[in-house]
Structure 1
Amino acid sequence: MLAPTGPVPTTPPPNPLMRKAQELEAAFLSEMLQHAGLDGASDSFGGGAGEEQFSSFLRMEQARQMVAHGGIGLAEQLFRAMGGGKE
């Protein structure tokens, strides 16, 4: 196995305000997925006492992945509205 030969590129840590805006966008998207009927509760887990709880975990992770891949732009708008766009 070869060892890295140069400096490892680093990315700056995410802005805490932007992280919170992204969390809020993910929560919003999760609710929209549920109301759109895309929570998969009837097909994903096959019923049982924990189905509602576990389907919400799946829906939230799907929403987080949507935000990680650009989302709907809500996080950026919230970030700017909270003064995060000012340097």
Structure 2
Amino acid sequence: MALLQASQLDTGKTSSTLKSAAKTREMQKIERAAQDFEAVFIAEMMKPMFAGIETEAPFGGGKGEEIFRSMMIQEYGKMIAQTGGIGIADHVKDHMIQVQSQMQNEQNPEGATSDE
């Protein structure tokens, strides 16, 4: 009997650990998506800043520079977002969490549990 109870306690702990790990993974996905969104937003905001920069003949210009410049701007956006950004990721993350919890509440109305 004691062995059965211990087994059930271990199962309960394992279940809560798995749920906690799933929530942690979900939060990491949300944070990553919010940071990626901020990186794209920052890159789009930076494009006009680089549009007016002229390059001179021997070492600049051409299609290669256009491609490199767009890639460089994307990387600038990623770096800025990774180092704290401008605060958009925090708001996007909060909104995503809010929407996700609303969806879960709609799927599991009060009184119903997802453990059944």
1:76 aligns to what?
90
Q: Does 1:21 align with 2:61?
A: no
Which aligned pairs between 1:31-42 and structure 2 lie closer than 5 A? 31-35=44-48, 37-38=49-50, 42=54
> How many residues matched?
73
Aligned equivalents of 2:28 and 2:54: distance in 1? 38
Deviation at 1:41, TM superposition (A): 5.8
Aligned equivalents of 1:80 and 1:51: distance in 2? 38
2:69 aligns to what?
55
Select the structure with the greater relative contact order (CA < 8 A; seq sep ≥ 6). Answer: 1
Deviation at 1:42, TM superposition (A): 3.4
Q: Does 1:67 align with 2:67?
A: no
TM-score scaled by length of structure 2: 0.53
Question: % of aligned pairs identical?
Answer: 35
Deviation at 1:75, TM superposition (A): 0.5
Runs of 4 or more off by more than 4 Å in structure 1?
none
Unpaired runs of 5+ in structure 2? 1-23, 102-116
Deviation at 1:15, TM superposition (A): 0.2
> In the alignment, is the contact (CA less than 8 A) between 1:30 and 1:59 conserved in 2?
yes
Aligned equivalents of 1:52 and 1:70: distance in 2? 28
Unpaired runs of 5+ in structure 1? 1-11
Aligned equivalents of 1:63 and 1:39: distance in 2? 16
Opposite residue 38 of structure 1, the aligned amino acid is: F
